[in-house]
Structure 1
Amino acid sequence: MSVTLKQVADAAGVSVSVASRSLNGRAREYRISETTEKSVKTTAAKLGFQPSQVARSLRLKRSGLVGVVVPDLSNPFFASIAREVTLAAEQDGYSVIVVDTRETTANEEKLVGQLLARQIEALVVCPVGQTQDHLSAIHDSGLPVVLVDRGFPDSKLTQVTSNHRAGAQQATELLLDHGHRLIGILQGLPGTLPNDERLAGLRAGLAQRNLDFDTTLLAGDNFSERSGYESTHALLRRHRGITALFAFSTPNALGALRATLELGRRVPEDLSLVTFDDIPFADFMSVPLTTVAQDVTALGRTAADLITQQLSGSKPPRLKNHCVQVHLINRNSIREVKR
């Protein structure tokens, strides 16, 4: 049987209200002596008393919960974002509930509704990225909402995103510097901000060298390993002369590696590969991948800071769009091509 507050009060020889105020850090407010406060806390510890979070929430009209929504927890990038937000939120005394939408807007809407039913106090969302209407409605209700990674152009929501365009342009220029001209693109989810911005960066890199963008070199429908695998097979059947692949996510790149292995193509000897995102074990892969690395720590902590500032009573942030810089890590997955 769990120990009740009344049992703690009886054992300490005080009233229930004195015991409650002593345990909730309100002893000075009600002129309870330090000796009494210490006695109550010592007694509670000896008895193994655990305060009811449900009762506390009802009393304070606060749940102490922050919802975190991601599209794919199996993707190391989103798992890292969720972890950073969780660590930062816990430092401020909040608990976090993480849900996985499995890359569908329908699931996103359903799971967000379930989080709201749990009386969350704030919402951090890495959205699927195809619509923001349901998230805008939550923002309009007064609940703090921060989007991470897949934001929306001209949105009124607070957003934390990476400089996708600059990173993709850097990666494209690196491939071009190594002599590659027939580059297959393994894109993510079309219509989402990261995908569209990375395509824009790719186009900009080609334009710098007066090269046209060939849409037949573009394949893929998601940021998943499956999409990368199927797209690689499709592109290499369509263009046998492809010398390099640019994967728009690490799962896309892992799918590409599986496909090239099946096709007997070695990376980088037969086919160069560069990717967006990064993974902790990238340096230990048989083929360390050259990648545009996002600052996951900065993305997660910035989002958490923006949420906790609002929860502390501060005004909503005036700056709506927060851009985190990326950096290119040149490993061993690109070879030189003779022009």
Structure 2
Amino acid sequence: MASSNPRRKSTIYDIAAKTGSSTSTVSMVLNGNWARYRIKEETANRILECARQLGYNVNMKARGLRLSRSGLAGMVLPHYRNRFFAGLAQTFEDHARSRGLCPIVVGTQRDPAVEISVTETLLSQRVEMLFIAGVRNPTPLNELCTAAGVPSINLDLPGDGAPSVVSDNRKGAHAITDVLIEKLLARGHAPDELVFLGGLTGEYATETRVAGFRDAFSARGIAPAHDAVECCGYNAAAAKRALASRCEKLGRLPTGLLMNSITAMEGLVQFMATLPHEAWKTTVVGCFDWDPFAAYLPFDVTMLRQDVEKIITEAFVLAEKFDPEDRSLILVPTGFGKMFEEAEQTKEFDR
């Protein structure tokens, strides 16, 4: 296919006529913006191939990204501040590189506008898959990926627009609550003083963990206190304030505390640091998250570890056999570990 007039340069009007596309569609494709405007990949490739055959000077960015594999794999996540999200990012990078892909990981600070903008940017760079971690409403991001023909997988928090891989929050919370109740009973304390602290009302992870917390009581034929659950957010300062308020009302620490995240746990540690040492031994603490440094805290701590390796492995399986109609939810079991053994393993992780 060639222009009938060898002196005349091909234009976007020629490409539009040959491909049956509008000039605006041709322009967006040639400028490398087709994914952002939800133009089908098949249409984009047809336009680029026609432009090549007509001798049109195609934008090299558009041409390089659309006519060949990019070799890029993307992940968005809220932040890197805790070991869980940092572990997801590191494990994702390792798995991507083992497949010959170049990983791109971007933190969004849980800002929905940033999540959309980052997703559009990654799609414009033609990532071959996108893992969406810790996004409270991933559906708009899934829809962008679907329009661009890019597989997307939700991690940590599920969504309705793509398959999801998350920790089994309910069973995990049941298990750690049961451990804490046993410790309270062994100390001669009533279990109904056990408090669940942190997270957000209406959020999937928090709601399923609260359900697991209540399940553990129900299985024993007992009930937690009416004010046992306090969803004060994922914020150390908020957790510290909530603990201070409870401590003021009781005149002491609650005898049992289950912190919903490592950030809430940070608030607890900050608050405990203001108390005399003898007060530290009056309570048992659990945390739905894990950090090896907890092994060295001077009070009783039980931590639940989420299986980052399994989450990422399952996500790559879904991405590599991606079905656009798949909306499955894969629950990955959590578990307890020996703190000092895990601390040693973490040395290798952090190298």
TM-score by length of 2: 0.69
1:103 partner SS: coil
Question: Are 2:135 and 1:123 aligned?
Answer: no
**How many matched pairs?**
273
1:322 counterpart letter in structure 2: I
The residue number in structure 1 matching 2:244 is 233
Note if contact 1:63-1:121 (Cα within 8 Å) is conserved in structure 2.
yes
* Cα distance change of structure 1 residues 228 and 272 upon mapping to structure 2, 3 Å threshold: same
Residue 169 of structure 2 is aligned to residue 164 of structure 1: yes
SS at match of 2:331: strand
What residue in structure 1 maps to residue 228 of structure 2? Answer: 217
Matches within 5 A, 1:213-292: 213-240=224-251, 242-264=254-276, 269-287=281-299, 289-292=301-304
Q: What are the Cα deviations for residues 231-286 of structure 1, in whole angstroms up to 9, with x where unaligned?
A: 32233234446211100112211220111111336575122111012124443445
Residues 162 and 121 of structure 1: CA distance in aligned 2, closer, same or farther (over 3 Å): same
Using a 3 Å threshold, how does the CA distance of structure 1 residues 201 and 235 change in structure 2: closer, same or farther?
Answer: same
Which residue of 91, 96, 99 maps to 1:89?
Answer: 96
Cα deviation code 1:202-227 (max 9, x no counterpart)? 11112223333445333343333333
CA RMSD in angstroms comes to 2.8
Aligned with 2:141 (options 135, 140, 157): 135
**Structure 2 CA distance for partners of 1:330 and 1:246, relative to 1, 3 Å:** farther
What amino acid sits opposite 1:74 in the alignment?
Answer: R
Gap runs ≥5 in structure 1: 1-52, 333-339
Asked if the contact 2:173–2:212 (Cα under 8 Å) also holds between the matched residues in 1, the reply is yes
- CA distance in structure 2 between the partners assigned to 1:105 and 1:59 by the alignment: 27
Q: 1:267 to 1:252 in 2, by over 3 A?
A: farther
Aligned to 1:103: 110
Return the letter of the residue paired with 1:140. Answer: T
Deviations 1:281-320 (A, max 9, x none): 443445573111111111122223322444xxxx558571
Q: In structure 1, what is the equivalent of residue 333 of structure 2?
A: 325
**Structure 2 residue 198 is the aligned partner of structure 1 residue 181:** no
**Residue in structure 1 matched with residue 6 of structure 2 by the alignment:** none
Q: Cα distance 1:157–1:175, how it changes in 2: closer, same or farther (>3 A)?
A: same
**2:238 alignment partner AA:** S
Note if 1:305 corresponds to 2:317: yes
2:146 aligned partner, one-letter code: D
Amino acid of the structure 1 residue aligned with 2:335: H
Q: What letter corresponds to residue 169 of structure 1 in structure 2? A: H
Contact 1:290 1:331 in 2 (8 A): no
Letter in 2 for 1:73: Y
Q: 1:142-153, aligned counterparts within 5 Å?
A: 142-152=149-159
1:82 and 1:300 in contact (8 A); partners too: no
Ranges of 4+ aligned residues in structure 1 off by more than 6 Å: 53-56
**Alpha-carbon offset, residue 66 of structure 1:** 1.5
- 1:38-58 deviations in whole A, cap 9, x for unaligned? xxxxxxxxxxxxxxx969934
Task: Provide the rounded CA distance (Å) in 2 between the counterparts of 1:187 and 1:249.
Answer: 7
The aligned residue for residue 208 of structure 2 is 197
The code of the aligned residue for 1:262 comes to T
* Overall identity of the aligned pairs, in %: 25
Q: What is the letter of the counterpart of residue 132 of structure 1?
A: P
